[in-house]
Amino acid sequence: MNQLALGKILMNVGDLPALPQITNRIIELTADPESTNQEICDLINRDQVLVAKVLKLVNSAYYGLPRKVASVSEAVALLGMQTLRTLVVGASVYKTLAGMKKKSVGNYEEIWRHALACAVSSRLVATELMISQKDHAFTAGLLHDIGRVILATLCTDRYQKVYELAEVRGCPLIEAEQEILETSHAEVGTIIAHKWNLPLTLIDPIGYHHEPFANCDNQELVQMVYLGNIAARLAGYGSDSCDHFTLNDSVIKQWGINYEMLHLVAEKVKGNISLDLI
């Protein structure tokens, strides 16, 4: 990472909205072993818009719960507090960044549609591979590209050049970012995630979703998002026309999967992604 280049980008970070205070408090409480589920549920219930978004996610077909969930406390009983926390954080970050789209370069809706497809795909892959963190995989997939949203809104002129270079060369966007910005959306996303005090289960996939074997605390979750990212593109939810991907041979060996399985996941996702969900 070029610290000078990154510093110039983050000089604009003052333009970045802060997460809602209630979200920061939820993150603090769920990290406090002395806090109670009821205390956290009461806090969430203060923001009815947030409650509505969380219940909409929990009751979506993507979660496949046996019955409709009508309250935050029911969601906790079925999914657990840590899962609910990641859903609350995911909905809050999406809501916060959605207000920036008016000054964004590129197709803002496509970036988020890809992110939601990645979220759904990551959870499906994790479920297929019987990974315990399948619910965390959903939110991690949803937020994996927040660095792109931030770069597209805070560095519009330079990021437009990134798109143009990737299009001309037919190279992955992250390579064009490195050449023009001397940093990447993964690095920027990681720094912002730390600034917002997001949990490490979300920070690692944001920072390493292009590096499935990076040395981090949540490598398994990173790999689920890496695979979900590919499945989302196979389903037709690429965030732009110049994005390319390859399936890492070591990931295939690690999980015993192939493109056929990812195509099956993609078929389940194809045509079923709507930003109305979040």
Closest CA to 185 of 232, 153, 230: 153
Q: What pLDDT was estimated at residue 2?
A: 57
Tens digit of each residue's pLDDT (9 = 90 or more) over 206-247? 999 999 999 999 999 999 999 999 999 999 997 665 556 667
Q: Which fold has domain 1-16+101-278?
A: Hypothetical protein af1432 (1.10.3210)
Closest CA to 170 of 69, 92, 244: 244
Cβ atoms 206, 147 nearer than 8 A = yes
- Quote the tokens at residue 233: 């593109």
Q: What pLDDT was estimated at residue 271?
A: 82
Half-sphere exposure of 88 (CA within 13 A, CB side): 34
Kindly list the domain boundaries of the chain, sorted by start residue.
Answer: 1-16+101-278, 17-99
Q: What pLDDT was estimated at residue 165?
A: 92
Regions of the chain with pLDDT less than 50: 1
Q: What pLDDT was estimated at residue 102?
A: 58
pTM: 0.89
Closest CA to 125 of 268, 274, 244, 253: 268
